Amino acid sequence: MKELISLEVVDQHIAVLTLNRPQAANALSKDLLDQLNHVIDKVNNNPDIYCTIITGAGEKAFCAGADLKERKGMTDSEVIEAVSYIGSTIQSVEKMKSPVIAAINGVAFGGGLELALACDLRISAAHAKMGLTETSLAIIPGAGGTQRLPRLIGVGQAKRLIYTAKPVTADEALSIGLVEQLSDKEKLLEDALEIAKKIAQNGPVALRQAKIAINHGMQTDITTGLLIEHLSYKETIPTRDRLEGLEAFQQKRKPLYKGV
């Protein structure tokens, strides 16, 4: 079977996942989703991975969304099942234990943008365009777009993008908070790795607990959110990494964290 997801480990602690269907704009075929789920499990089960980058092969597309050619001959029930599989896979990305960066190297439409929305951070090449274009096909975003986009950029902006189905440039994406950083296309992966390295030098347990506190806390009221934060904080206290951080600070050296 052709490798549709490539996995590279950089500096021992950073996983780089590349969607590898450039001839099909890295569209989300069933085979690609199967392989993506397998690689997600592999990364989650590797305690040495502290940060993950997801990007696409080539310069034209991060991910153009669902594979519409594959969907052409499907029955209604098969289409619903296919969309559900995309949604559950994207949710698996969101639930990855360590922080995930989307390095958007080209267009990110429909399910492709929904994939990026499930990541913790988004850095985009300056030439990229992105949008939830589903209403132009008489459907709606079905893999989390109607829920994650308004939580990220606000209800009004999300409705504008979804109702018009109009893609935005990378500059506009940055201005409305859809992406956190822009990069020249030649430096995109380099810049994403720079962020990942800064993340990976911090305490792995703390990173996981911070992600839990933020993601779960954002879904509830402030009182409950503060309780979630407190419980997540408590998980860091008995770790050896916390003691290593204190010792390194006192000795004016870089800490060497091991995730325990």
**Cβ-count burial 64-97 (b if 16+ within 10 Å, e if not):** bbbbeebeeeeeeeeeeebbebbbebbebbbebb
In three-state secondary structure terms, 134 is helix
Catalytic residue ranges: 114, 134
In three-state secondary structure terms, 92 is helix
CA dist 114 and 88 (Å) reads: 11
CA dist 65 and 113 (Å) reads: 7
Contact between 207 and 195 under an 8 Å Cβ cutoff? The reply is: no
How many residues would you count in the chain?
260
